[in-house]
Amino acid sequence: MKKLVVLGLATMFALTACSDNKATTTETPKATGNAKPAKLSLNWSVMSGLMGNVTLPSADKDFVKKAIEEKFNVDLKIDYMVTGKEYHDKLNATLAGGSAPDLFIAGGAESQKYINDGITANLSTFITKETMPNYFKWVTKEEVDAYQLKQGEFTRGMVPFSRNTYASWYIRQDWLDKLGLKSPKTYADLTNVLTQFTKADPDGNGKQDTYGFTAAGSGQNLPFDFPQWLNNGFVADFMIVDNSYVDNRTDLKVQGVIDQVVEWNKAGIVDPDWFLNKPPAHFDKASQSRVGMFFTAGDKTVALDSVATSVQNRTKALDPKANWQPIYPLDKPIMWKYNVPTDTFLISEATADKSPDKVKRSLEIVNWLEGEEGFLLTHFGQEGKHYTKSGNKITLNVAAFEADVAKAGNWLNVYAAFTPEDPNVLGFELIDSRVSEHDRAILKTVESFPKHNALPPVSLVPPAGINIGDFRKEMSKFHAKAVLEDKSGKNWPQYREELMTKFKGREIFTEYTKQLNSVLKDKKLNDFK
């Protein structure tokens, strides 16, 4: 009877804990009695556009790793790199070698290939509102369902993303002032300004060693860093116009984009290394006062005084007069789009088959990272040391945070890859004394740039057997060939037709049209020609 009473009380307490919405009660791995779950070794591959040149600290200083390993009884190994081709090349080699990570992050196009190749597991029974309540504070079930390649399956998790976007071009305002130039408002103005930045010695060192503009093509593409895309009417990579999917990068009018990029290249006003630059090389060149303008699609910190490693602070270390300011240099009605999901987290089929406990444990950790405790630790550090908490207000201890995190390479970004820095999603308000009036003005300016909502109501999936990543790879080759070899857009219509036929572009976009047509009330969808 005593045993039954104890068991009944234990069950009652367990049920009470499960009904509590607090993160600390829903996130801890469940065990039988007082025993911890069996210790597991987990291997993750993580990427993030915010990592930069990050190195995780030694084990005694990595308080996030220590917290995860103690809380979930695991040995966690994380392989991490900045988002880009090199990361996916390394991941592909790992997958081809038969040693798939237990959990890994991949781009949207890449995840489609992994799913179609049978590398990933169906997580329908693992990821629900009951098992991962914190995850669904960041995304809705409707969004998650629409993001799947097949209805009724859960083969890829949408990595939570910031809904607002901070896309902007940034320009050296002090160079404009020194040369007596006004901030450009049209494409002609912009071309003139960048020409002066190249030829008029804006840094005053008596040498013609600066360029107007730089970008990061990673040796493979013509990035949207170039304002020529927007100047020809293309807002980011795709648009939904009149309920139609418009694939900007393969439109016939891309010929105009190519011609204008070639003109800038021939004029010598673009950093000649732009195509080979890999992020964050373009930020490095800006920080070295070698260029006067660059673009970022999402990093809102690049010109902030409050971030020790920002382009603004790094440039001012060399030139105290440096003043990077956001600009909208074209007379177009829309500059960018609100964010859409770009990254996915996946679990390998091998892990799910052989070690379902690893799947559960990995997802428990992800859920914890996306809850209050994990979010605060991975974005603001340790409570009482790096920040204090009073109600919903989080006050950063700047000195400690700078010493242990910011000046140590912002290594928390490795663990923060699963959540954007949006504390308001969890009901928190951040008080950061480093954020100056200068910083608030920059953020307000960038937030005000006109954008449109480009989130499709359904995950757009190519026809069976066609991989969008392969198509994009060939598309990028044609962009590069036209700009760097042909030095003209004259052959673009021919290249485009090859993309539409040989590489199945017309089939892909026709299928996208059908998928949009199936969910949108307005059936007036244009056919892709």
What would the two tokens of residue 248 be? 């900007």
Report residue 304 CA to chain centroid gap: 19
> How many Å apart are CA 176 and CA 178, to the nearest integer?
6
Q: What is the pLDDT of residue 227?
A: 98
Whether residue 114 contacts residue 168, with contact meaning beta carbons closer than 8 Å, is answered with: no
Within 8 A by CB and 6+ apart from 520, the residues are 243, 457
Whether residue 104 contacts residue 46, with contact meaning beta carbons closer than 8 Å, is answered with: yes
Whether residue 20 contacts residue 26, with contact meaning beta carbons closer than 8 Å, is answered with: yes
Whether residue 412 contacts residue 405, with contact meaning beta carbons closer than 8 Å, is answered with: yes
> How many Å apart are CA 440 and CA 250, to the nearest integer?
38
Where residue 73 falls (left for φ over 0; alpha for ψ -120 to 50; beta otherwise) is left
Name 240's bridge partners: 245
Within 8 A by CB and 6+ apart from 163, the residues are 338, 339, 422
> How many Å apart are CA 263 and CA 265, to the nearest integer?
5
Q: What is the pLDDT of residue 258?
A: 98
Cα end-to-end span (Å), the chain: 77
Three-class SS state of 343: strand
Angle separating helix axes 63-72 and 356-369, nearest 10 degrees: 130
Gyration radius of the chain's alpha carbons: 25
Q: What are phi and psi of 460, to 5 degrees?
A: -85, 115
DSSP string, 404-439: HTGGGT-THHHHGGGS-S-GGGGT-EEE-TT--HHH
Q: Where are the alpha helices (DSSP H) in 301-411?
A: 311-318, 349-354, 356-369, 372-380, 398-404
> How many Å apart are CA 175 and CA 165, to the nearest integer?
27
> How many Å apart are CA 482 and CA 496, to the nearest integer?
11
Within 8 A by CB and 6+ apart from 293, the residues are 169, 170, 171, 172, 194, 197, 212, 213, 214, 327
pTM: 0.68
Three-class SS state of 157: strand
With CA atoms as reference, report the closest residue to 307 among 410, 447, 413, 428: 410
DSSP element (H, E) containing 344: strand 343-347
Strands 157-158 and 343-347: antiparallel
* 175, HSE (Cβ side, Cα atoms, 13 Å): 31
Name 337's bridge partners: 452
pLDDT tens for the chain, residues 1 to 529: 333 333 343 433 333 333 333 333 334 444 444 567 789 999 999 987 666 667 888 989 999 999 999 999 999 999 888 777 888 899 999 888 888 899 999 988 788 889 888 999 999 999 999 999 999 999 988 888 878 887 788 999 999 988 888 899 999 999 999 999 999 999 999 999 999 999 999 999 999 999 999 999 999 999 999 999 999 999 988 877 776 778 999 999 999 999 999 999 999 999 999 999 999 999 999 999 999 999 998 788 899 998 888 999 999 999 999 999 999 999 999 999 888 788 899 999 999 999 999 999 999 999 999 999 999 999 999 999 999 999 999 999 999 998 999 888 889 989 999 999 899 999 999 998 888 899 999 999 999 999 987 666 556 778 888 888 899 999 999 999 999 999 999 999 999 999 999 999 999 998 888 877 766 644 344 444 4
